[in-house]
Amino acid sequence: MPVAEKKPEASITPYEAAPGEEYMNEQQLEHFRQLLLEWKQDLMEEVDRTVRHLQEDANNYADPADRATQEEGFSLELRTRDRERKLLKKINETLEKIDEDDYGFCEACGVEIGIRRLEARPTATLCVDCKTLAELKEKQLGG
């Protein structure tokens, strides 16, 4: 999973479904809503830290090598924030799916994505089988 998509260690414990529990019931939906909101908050705090860092550490070095090093560092940070911006969009879309009661089901085939997969990747929109097929197709077309 790319760096920007790596879910931070949440303070929310993983959901343990009870035997026979209905899939994507209110408790499960609320669990994933809280997980996503916490993840979103962490990303927003990281954006704030980056802005402060860029403002505080923006020096006008006389040495071109020092300037280039600083600019490369800023560039890397901004690329990371851009990936996180895209992730924030995915998180918001996922929160909308939860609100619309359309969360946890594969967009391609309609089967349950599964609690364990959603714990690992709360923004997942495909079940493991469909995601595997999509990656194989991408590999064949791209390589």
Structurally, the chain folds into a number of domains equal to 2
- Domain residue limits at 62: 23-102
Give the amino acid at 111.
V
102 among annotated binding-site residues: no
109 among annotated binding-site residues: yes
* 47 and 82, same domain (yes or no): yes
Kindly state whether residue 52 falls inside one of the protein's structural domains: yes
127 among annotated binding-site residues: yes
Reported pTM: 0.78
Tens-digit pLDDT profile for residues 83-126: 999 999 999 999 999 999 999 999 999 999 999 999 999 999 99
Kindly state whether residue 17 falls inside one of the protein's structural domains: no
* 55 and 117, same domain (yes or no): no
* 63 and 127, same domain (yes or no): no
Structure tokens at 112: 């349950």
Give 29's DSSP letter: H
* 33 and 71, same domain (yes or no): yes
* 98 and 33, same domain (yes or no): yes
130 among annotated binding-site residues: yes
